[in-house]
């Protein structure tokens, strides 16, 4: 009986010190106080140090004239440009390398991943030797190799290596023809946009029809046809013409064309080759993660090889591949900061390097640089979450 009485009464009183909720609050207050004290200590020290060095803080330096040269910018740059323009130039150069690198690394990486699973022994060996070699050597060393040992050792301008389509490679970088669209070309841009929208609409309609009636529609062929007809038609009707400004060897250097500096070429080479090895492994893992039963089930349903890949294997493999793929893209973007070591004027080089040295605004400059990468990273993880929620398995 006594036991039952005990059960009905209120839970035994414990000391407040042993109450987990109370303890949790105390712990958190202590930790928060320590962190705040730590930051306050840093802030006081920094203020004292800055005062001792007679330095001011604030972002007003952004609107002062930079007064240094940047070897490669995507917009007009002069010594009279402002520091915020230097920031922008660095940021744009970072994004430029990242975009080109991501495209190249994706193509190369998917090829490698598929090659590694090839039934051809020689091909799969090639892919694994490539991946094992490249992954285990530091990126910075590879960049040094491409820049100092390969591109700096290229022939001088007079003996440039000539490639088809007026492409030249020499010590001063890669010279490629520059496309020169004329005034009528605006119509073609509009046509491209229309064709893209049309293709999206077409695929949506085809999907809906497939869901409703089970009838397939050759979307890819139709979309290609749409592109050729709409864009080609506009091109002919509007009378637009596309000419190329080709690089021509003058007495001392090339004139005309688009001249890509060797730093950019080396950085794109190094980043794509390095990241492709990691992407290749992701792709291999993704394809292997689709169990063999899926292949067999698709075969027993009577699907053709192409349909089996397109409708059964690839959608499931992509679910595994895309999250690590986006983090590889983010890694590539972050690794583009190594361009600073070979003199490519990207964000870290122009801003955290030259600008910081000239203005001495260490805190502001480093904070802005880190902020850029932080924003890029947050955008990437936002995309990843969106994608994951879209493709996640719907479980009962």
Partner 1 sequence: MATDTVFVRTHFEEPRPAPGRIGGVSHWLRRNLFATPGDAVLTILGILFLLWVVPPLFNYVIGHAVPPGGTVEQCRAEGAGACWAYIAARFSFFIYGFYPPAEYWRPNLVFFMLAVLITPLLIPRAPFKRLNAILFFVVFPVVSFYLLNGGVFGMPRVPTEQWGGLMVTLIISLVGIICSIPIGILLALGRQSKLPIIKTLCVMFIELWRAVPLITVLFMASIMLPLFMPSGTTIDKLLRALVGVTLFASAYLAEVVRGGLQALPRGQYEAAAALGLSYWKRTYFIILPQALRHVIPGIVNTFIALFKDTSLVSIVGIFDLLNTVQSASSDVNWISPTQTITGYLFAGMVFWIFCFGMSRYSLFMERRLDTGHKR
Q: Which is nearer to partner 1, 200 or 378 (CB)?
A: 378
Question: Which candidate, 146, 128, 185, places its Cα nearest to that of 343?
Answer: 146
Find the shortest distance in angstroms from Cβ 350 to partner 1: 13
Find the shortest distance in angstroms from Cβ 110 to partner 1: 17
Place of tokens 């990843």: 384
Find the shortest distance in angstroms from Cβ 125 to partner 1: 9
Q: Which is nearer to partner 1, 259 or 308 (CB)?
A: 308
Q: Which is nearer to partner 1, 24 or 186 (CB)?
A: 24
Find the shortest distance in angstroms from Cβ 236 to partner 1: 38
User: Distance of alpha carbon 371 from its chain centroid, rounded?
Assistant: 16
Find the shortest distance in angstroms from Cβ 160 to partner 1: 20
Question: Which candidate, 5, 46, 102, 61, places its Cα nearest to that of 380?
Answer: 102
Inter-residue contact 98 to 337 (CB < 8 Å): no
* Contacting residues toward partner 1, per CB under 8 A: 24, 27-28, 31-32, 35, 42, 45-46, 48-50, 52, 118-123, 126, 132-133, 135-141, 144-145, 148-149, 153, 334-335, 337-338, 340-341, 348, 352, 356, 362-363, 366, 369-370, 373-374, 376-378
Find the shortest distance in angstroms from Cβ 286 to partner 1: 17
Inter-residue contact 83 to 63 (CB < 8 Å): yes
Q: What is the CB neighbour count within 10 angstroms for residue 225?
A: 11
Q: Which is nearer to partner 1, 143 or 223 (CB)?
A: 143
3-state class of 383 per DSSP? helix
Inter-residue contact 333 to 44 (CB < 8 Å): no
Q: Which is nearer to partner 1, 49 or 250 (CB)?
A: 49
Query: CA–CA separation, 262 vs 361, rounded Å?
Result: 30
- In the chain, which ranges are E strands? 161-163, 167-170, 173-176, 178-181, 242-245, 248-249, 254-255, 258-260
Q: Which is nearer to partner 1, 27 or 63 (CB)?
A: 27
């Amino acid at each position: 009986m006594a036991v039952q009485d005990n059960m009905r009464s209120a839970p035994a009183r414990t000391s407040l010190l042993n109450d987990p909720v109370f303890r949790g609050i105390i712990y958190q207050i202590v930790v928060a106080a320590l962190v705040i004290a730590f930051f306050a200590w840093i802030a006081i020290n920094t203020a004292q140090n800055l005062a001792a060095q007679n330095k001011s803080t604030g972002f007003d330096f952004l609107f002062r004239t930079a007064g240094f040269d940047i070897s490669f910018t995507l917009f007009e740059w002069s010594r009279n440009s402002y520091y915020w323009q230097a920031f922008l130039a660095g940021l744009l150069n970072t994004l430029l390398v990242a975009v080109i690198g991501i495209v190249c690394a994706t193509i190369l990486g998917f090829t490698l991943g598929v090659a590694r699973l090839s039934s051809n022994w020689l091909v799969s060996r090639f892919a694994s030797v490539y991946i094992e070699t490249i992954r285990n050597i530091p990126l910075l060393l590879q960049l040094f190799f491409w820049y100092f040992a390969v591109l700096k050792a290229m022939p001088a301008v007079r003996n440039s290596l000539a490639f088809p389509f007026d492409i030249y490679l020499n010590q001063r970088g890669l010279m490629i023809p520059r496309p020169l669209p004329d005034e009528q070309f605006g119509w073609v841009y509009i046509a491209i946009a229309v064709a893209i929208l049309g293709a999206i609409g077409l695929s949506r309609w085809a999907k809906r029809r497939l869901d409703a009636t089970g009838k397939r529609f050759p979307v890819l062929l139709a979309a290609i046809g749409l592109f050729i007809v709409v864009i080609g038609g506009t091109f002919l009707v509007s009378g637009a013409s596309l000419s190329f400004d080709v690089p021509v060897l003058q007495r001392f250097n090339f004139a005309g064309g688009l001249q890509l500096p060797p730093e950019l070429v080396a950085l794109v080479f190094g980043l794509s080759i390095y990241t492709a090895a990691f992407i290749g492994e992701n792709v291999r893992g993704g394809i292997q993660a689709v169990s063999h039963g899926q292949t067999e089930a698709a075969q027993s349903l009577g699907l053709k090889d192409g349909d089996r890949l397109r409708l059964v294997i690839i959608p499931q493999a992509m679910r595994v591949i895309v999250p690590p793929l986006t983090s590889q893209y983010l890694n590539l973007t972050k690794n583009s900061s190594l361009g600073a070591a070979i003199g490519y004027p990207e964000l870290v080089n122009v801003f955290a390097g030259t600008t910081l040295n000239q203005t001495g605004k260490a805190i502001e400059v480093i904070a802005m640089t880190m902020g850029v990468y932080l924003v890029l990273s947050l955008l990437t993880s936002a995309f990843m979450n969106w994608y994951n929620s879209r493709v996640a398995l719907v479980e009962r």
